[in-house]
Amino acid sequence: DAGVIQSPRHEVTEMGQEVTLRCKPISGHNSLFWYRQTMMRGLELLIYFNNNVPIDDSGMPEDRFSAKMPNASFSTLKIQPSEPRDSAVYFCASSFDRVGNEQFFGPGTRLTVL
Amino acid sequence: GNSVTQMEGPVTLSEEAFLTINCTYTATGYPSLFWYVQYPGEGLQLLLKATKADDKGSNKGFEATYRKETTSFHLEKGSVQVSDSAVYFCALSADTGGFKTIFGAGTRLFVKA
């Protein structure tokens, strides 16, 4: 398996622009997670899907952020409009819900908002 | 709620030194415990795990034992290498109507040659 795939790997945009990050989870996994990592705040869970349904979005910072999972093999995280404080590395991870199962992380998307 | 506390870094060691990174947790029920490692420029990856009390997880010379009586899962390695320089995250997962993983803040390890 190719692992969790994220695109793009790097994104540089200007304040106010819309940004869309994409994720393809590992085939057969039924949970998907979006995280944000910064030096100041560490690793933060933004949203968690199970069987394509959002279960916990309490970590989504504000209405500018939205996430969708239209099917089991694809998810997007959208920021509109983007702001410089959104600059971070965004990770997608997937897992199969079972006791003891670990999460598999993608390589991340490094977002820079100028 | 569930939580994980791990020692703050950075930790700086010389090659072949002994490593301990402390981790304690708070959880209801019987969580599974994990150590993840993040190398520069990469996502987190599983290093080792333990799913019940007294289990020992091990991988690449690293070990950690699930201690329910002290609610701890300390990471140890007898002889570190420069290539072990990374950030280490302690984590727990429990069935709370889903298997959301709670991560510690991470401990950065620097190993000098």
For B46-55, the pLDDT digits (tens) are 999 999 999 9
Closest to A50 measured CA to CA, from A95, A102, A6: A95
| pLDDT tens per residue across span A45-88 | 999 999 999 999 999 988 999 999 999 999 999 999 999 999 99
pLDDT of res. B2: 87
Closest to B41 measured CA to CA, from A9, A26, A92: A9
Torsion of CA A46, A66, A83, B40, to 10 degrees: 40
Report how many Cβ contacts below 8 Å link chain A to chain B.
57
B98 has pLDDT over 80: no
- Strand A65-71 and strand A10-13: pairing? unpaired
Length of chain A: 114
- Once rounded to an integer, what is the mean pLDDT over residues B78-102? 90
Could you tell me which chain A residue has the CA closest to the CA of B95? A99
Instruction: Nearest by CB to A102, from B34, B42, B100: name it.
Output: B34
Instruction: Nearest by CB to B51, from A31, A93, A99: name it.
Output: A99
pLDDT mean across residues, chain A = 95
Query: B99, B103, B107: which to substitute to probe chain A, counting the most A Cβ within 10 Å?
Result: B99
Looking at per-residue confidence, does A97 or A91 come out higher? A91
Closest to A25 measured CA to CA, from A48, A55, A43, A59: A48
Residue ranges with strand state E in chain A:
5-7, 10-13, 19-24, 31-38, 42-50, 53-56, 65-71, 74-79, 88-95, 104-105, 109-113
Residue B78 banded pLDDT, cuts 50, 70, 90: very high
pLDDT mean across residues, chain B = 94
| pLDDT tens per residue across span A1-51 | 689 999 999 999 999 999 999 999 999 999 999 999 999 999 999 999 999
Instruction: Nearest by CB to B44, from A48, A95, A105: name it.
Output: A105
Looking at per-residue confidence, does B28 or A28 come out higher? A28
pLDDT of res. A66: 97
Q: What percent of chain B has pLDDT over 70?
A: 98
Q: B47 to chain A: which residues are within 8 Å by CB?
A: none
pLDDT of res. B97: 64
pLDDT of res. A2: 82
Contact across the interface for A102 and B106, Cβ inside 8 Å: no
Q: Which two tokens stand for residue A41?
A: 């705040």
| pLDDT tens per residue across span B53-62 | 999 999 999 9
Instruction: Nearest by CB to B106, from A33, A43, A104: name it.
Output: A43
| pLDDT tens per residue across span B14-26 | 999 999 999 999 9
B102 has pLDDT over 80: yes
pLDDT of res. B1: 83
Q: How far is A19 from chain B (nearest CA, A)?
A: 21
pLDDT of res. A100: 80
Question: What does the angle CA B59 – CA A33 – CA A88 come to, to the nearest 5 degrees?
Answer: 90
Q: B99 to chain A: which residues are within 8 Å by CB?
A: 31, 95, 97-99, 101
Count Cβ atoms below 10 Å from residue A69 Cβ, excluding itself: 20
A97 has pLDDT over 90: no
B43 has pLDDT over 80: yes
Contact across the interface for B42 and A100, Cβ inside 8 Å: no
